[in-house]
A and B are shown apart, each in its own frame.
Chain A
Amino acid sequence: MILIHCPYCGEDRPEVEFVYGGEAHIARPLDPSGQTDPEWESYLYIRANVRGRHHERWRHTHGCGRFFNAVRDTVTDLFETTYKAGEPRK
């Protein structure tokens, strides 16, 4: 089990307190009806699935309940950093 630092609570907590939220910084289309099929495909389904430095969302479900972003190495599972939602990509 990995330990995750919640940037809101300021604590390292076990993974079971959190729910993974998938790849981070995928912008929801502002004009859904104006999207082409390839644009929808890219938004809904295409994922970086990086082997290495991965930007991802987590939610501290059994803590503060808030979403935040993280950078984790997907080979070692070690977190580089976590930061609050809305902050720029690190």
Chain B
Amino acid sequence: MAWGYARKAVALGVDIIQNCAVTGIRRGPDGAVQGVETEKGFIAAKKVGVSAAGNTSVVMNMAGLRFPLESYPLQALVSEPVKPIFPCVVMSNTVHAYISQSDKGELVIGAGTDQYVSYSQRGALHIIEHTLAAICEIFPIFTRMRMLRSWGGIVDVTPDRSPILGKTPVPGLYVNCGWGTGGFKATPGAADLLAYTIAHDQPHRINAPFTLDRFRDGRLIDEAAAAAVAH
């Protein structure tokens, strides 16, 4: 799906530069954004949107901003492929199991985050064991499945577990972050709202409550349960 979006974006004239880290955010005398410094040189821009997931705090520090975020490793696993057996997604917050089957036949399993802040892109084995124990308990049919691979990605978590999508105190700098352990399925919608926010220099009514300011003003978004994601 990600490659489908990338191909279509390129066809529309978007430049995608991979494996090129942002090393700085340049600001003018008035404080407004002038562009981004990268490993491959400077890119001038009047408006910059940051979608840096687990590394959002690191990138925002480059603009002198401190964020209400903490980054944790989140692990996932896939099994060997088998014939269709599991036509749904099952999730249990109580015992912490998350499992579905991909079209390729692999069981796709989501584990939890480690308890400590980390950018290591690996998680602890006992986190995986906890999730697999829960799945085997609920579905004994899966106890003999073999796992093919596992990996850890870094997720940025906000204090109220809802994303931050909107403007920042720096003129011309916009942010889409804090999706935590969820967000992958929301990416197309979030991208649309980020584009709207950048184009209009104000948020769409859908992302209007998801401001950075809500942590200062006490307007936290209390929908951790509605998000249907284990936090």
Judge if A51 is at the interface, Cβ distance under 8 Å: yes
CB distance from A48 to the nearest CB of B (A): 7
Q: Quick one: closest B residue to A77, CB to CB?
A: B120
Once bound together, how far apart are the Cα atoms of A49 and B216, in whole Å?
18
Once bound together, how far apart are the Cα atoms of A45 and B211, in whole Å?
14
Judge if B102 is at the interface, Cβ distance under 8 Å: no
Q: Quick one: closest B residue to A72, CB to CB?
A: B116
Chain B interface residue count, CB cutoff 8 Å, equals 24
Judge if B119 is at the interface, Cβ distance under 8 Å: yes
**Within A40-90, which residues are at the interface with B (CB < 8 Å)?**
40-42, 44-51, 54, 56, 72, 74-77
Report the number of A-B residue pairs with Cβ-Cβ less than 8 Å: 69
Q: Quick one: closest B residue to A2, CB to CB?
A: B124
Judge if A11 is at the interface, Cβ distance under 8 Å: no
Contact indicator A49/B70 (Cβ below 8 Å):
yes
- 21 A-B residue pairs with Cβ-Cβ distance under 8 Å, sorted by A, are A1-B125, A1-B126, A16-B126, A19-B115, A20-B116, A37-B216, A42-B66, A44-B159, A45-B159, A46-B68, A47-B66, A49-B67, A50-B57, A50-B117, A51-B55, A54-B117, A56-B117, A72-B116, A75-B118, A77-B116, A77-B118
| Chain B residues close to A by CB (< 8 Å) | 55, 57-58, 66-71, 115-120, 124-126, 156, 159, 215-218
| Chain A residues close to B by CB (< 8 Å) | 1-2, 15-16, 19-20, 22-23, 37-38, 40-42, 44-51, 54, 56, 72, 74-77
Q: A22-B70, A47-B67 are in contact. List 17 more A-B contacts (CB 8 A).
A: A1-B126, A15-B126, A37-B218, A42-B66, A46-B68, A46-B215, A47-B70, A48-B57, A49-B70, A51-B119, A72-B116, A74-B71, A74-B117, A74-B120, A75-B118, A75-B119, A75-B120
